[in-house]
Amino acid sequence: MDLANIYVVIYEEDKPLILMSSLPDEGYGAFILTLLNGRASLSYSKVTTALVNLELRRKDNESLDGTSAEGLAVRGRSPNKKGENRGRSKSRS
């Protein structure tokens, strides 16, 4: 904002770098390295989307830490031991 107030032109390719350099190292260092890994260029929209997703995941983790979470119930067939056929008959033709 300070640069915009003194009429400095910020080019589109510089915006993601300015945004990432403004983030504190503690907590965002791994995020920045992951985002930069293997990329030749970044767009501002991709960086902001990834940053918003990171913040949402952090808030979800914080809310789960303070509350009890229900487990996921999985239904389905259990693996048959010794090739037994339980409850199902073969085709009656």
Rounded distance, CA 1 to CA 16, Å? 14
Write down the pLDDT at residue 52. 92
Q: What is the pLDDT of residues 21-72, one digit of tens each?
A: 888 888 888 888 888 888 888 888 999 999 999 999 988 888 876 655 555 6
Q: What is the mean pLDDT of residues 3-18?
A: 80
What is residue 49's predicted lDDT score, i.e. its pLDDT?
92
Q: Please check whether residue 19 is in contact with residue 48, taking contact to mean a CB–CB distance below 8 angstroms.
A: yes
Q: Which residues contact 35 (CB under 8 A, 6 or more apart)?
A: 20, 42, 47, 50
Greater model confidence, 58 or 10: 58
